[in-house]
Amino acid sequence: MTRPPGNPALTPFGTTIFAEMSALAVEHGAINLGQGFPDTDGPREVLDAAKAAIEGGRNQYPPGPGVPELLDAIATHQRRFYGLDIDPATEVLVTVGATEAIFSTILALVQPGDEVVTFEPYYDSYAASIALAGGVRRTSVLRFPDWQVDEASLRAAFSDRTRLVLLNTPHNPTGKVFTRAELDLVSALAREHDAWVVTDEVYEHLAFDGRAHVPMSTLPGMRERTLTISSGGKTFSTTGWKVGWVSGPAAAVAAVRAVKQFTTYVGSGPFQPAIALGLGLGDQMYAALSASLSAKRDLLVAGLRAAGLPVAVPDGGYFVIADAAPLGAVDGLAFCRELPTRAGVVGVPVSVFCDDVEAARTLVRFAFCKRDEVLAEAVRRLAALRG
């Protein structure tokens, strides 16, 4: 065969950094603060509900849009937390994690040559999904350690070819929770350029220090041009279940469903009623989750600082970014590839989420969704590295 296999659109992406770094963690028995997944289980009721669904025989294809009780639970959740009214029958679609929601939404909206505006550093699947749709990525850089939106560069990223803005708040990897003023700016630019806004809100329940998560679709004039994506993975510590969803105007959700029906067809059956049950749990569950993660954030931030690293304190999410230059990092990717053998710790280089690699040259992302003793041991190892 003369032509090599592989989709040329994916050539620049190689293997995801999460797979590479998790493999290194296993190979070297290192502490994995790379890939963002908790090392403890979430609410017992949610786990039991999945077991009950299997025992109850819910083991065949569920309906394509999602099981009715999950569609209802998502609509109820949006009303309960944000005052949004969405029709579970036409304005919600259950997906295989937020990842499929992102991919299918981009494929549904973006035609070859259309431009997609996003902030960088960006979550890695954004760039690959845009490339597979034949879209063109236009970014605005958030800079360490404040991650403030730079209005001039954001404006410059928009053009008459802008089809959509891909926003993520709370943001991975920076932990930034976009301010109301920043959301207003994005919303104004989207309306000016008649663009869709796709918001990835998978960390919606992980905004810390009393910060409120504000969904883009609650802003004036935005409900009709916003598709909102979330997932049960972070909220219920079930990242391996891959139950996500997208909600928005019926016609747009139908367009996403048209893509989904030929990629995964339906999502996994027994996990859907379990996530539905989880979404209905009391406020105490949600408060405890955010309190636990913000305490872990504090622990890791203090430990990294004690190890001599400049740190950007995250407002939310699972991750903290530190500058590893004091540990001798010159290139973050090379540094992270060596870290498992040098220190027995795994982190993720932020530059892999950037077009402007220089803006993140020595920055490393560490996950704090781990047991306290694991975080303590990781920072002890990093401090020892400094000598």
Binding site for ligand PMP (CB under 6 A): 36, 97-99, 123, 168, 172, 200, 202, 231, 233, 239, 242, 244
Q: From the CB of 149, what's the least distance to ligand PMP, in Å? A: 17
Q: Is 13 in the site for ligand GLN (CB under 6 A)?
A: no
Asked whether position 36 contacts ligand GLN by CB under 6 A, the answer is yes
Smallest distance, Å, CB 35 to ligand PMP?
9
Decide: is 231 part of the binding site for ligand GLN (CB under 6 A): no
SS3 sequence of the chain = CCCCCCCHHHCCCCCCHHHHHHHHHHHHCCEECCCCCCCCCCCHHHHHHHHHHHHCCCCCCCCCCCCHHHHHHHHHHHHHHHCCCCCCCCCEEEEEHHHHHHHHHHHHHCCCCCEEEEEECCCHHHHHHHHHCCCEEEEEECCCCCCCCCHHHHHHHCCCCEEEEEEECCCCCCCCCCCHHHHHHHHHHHHHCCCEEEEECCCCCCECCCCCCCCHHHCCCCHHHEEEEEEHHHHCCCCCCCEEEEECCHHHHHHHHHHHHHHCCCCCCCHHHHHHHHHCCCHHHHHHHHHHHHHHHHHHHHHHHHCCCCEECCCECCEEEEECHHHCCCCHHHHHHHHHHHHCEECEEHHHHCCCHHHHCCEEEEECCCCHHHHHHHHHHHHHHHC
Q: Which of 32, 78, 118, 172 binds ligand GLN (CB under 6 A)?
A: 172
Instruction: Residue 78: name its binding partner from ligand GLN, ligand PMP, none (Cβ under 5 to 8 Å by kind).
Output: none
Residues 315-354 that bind ligand GLN (CB under 6 A): none
> Binding to ligand GLN by residue 18, rule CB under 6 A?
yes
> Which of ligand GLN, ligand PMP, none is residue 18 near (CB under 5 to 8 Å by kind)?
ligand GLN
At its nearest, how many Å lie between ligand GLN and the CB of residue 36?
Answer: 3
Residue nearest ligand GLN (C-beta atom): 36
> Which of the listed partners (ligand PMP, ligand GLN, none) does 340 bind, with a CB threshold of 5 to 8 Å by partner kind?
none
Residue 288 beta carbon to ligand PMP: minimum distance, rounded to whole angstroms:
20
Binding site for ligand GLN (CB under 6 A): 16, 18, 35-36, 172
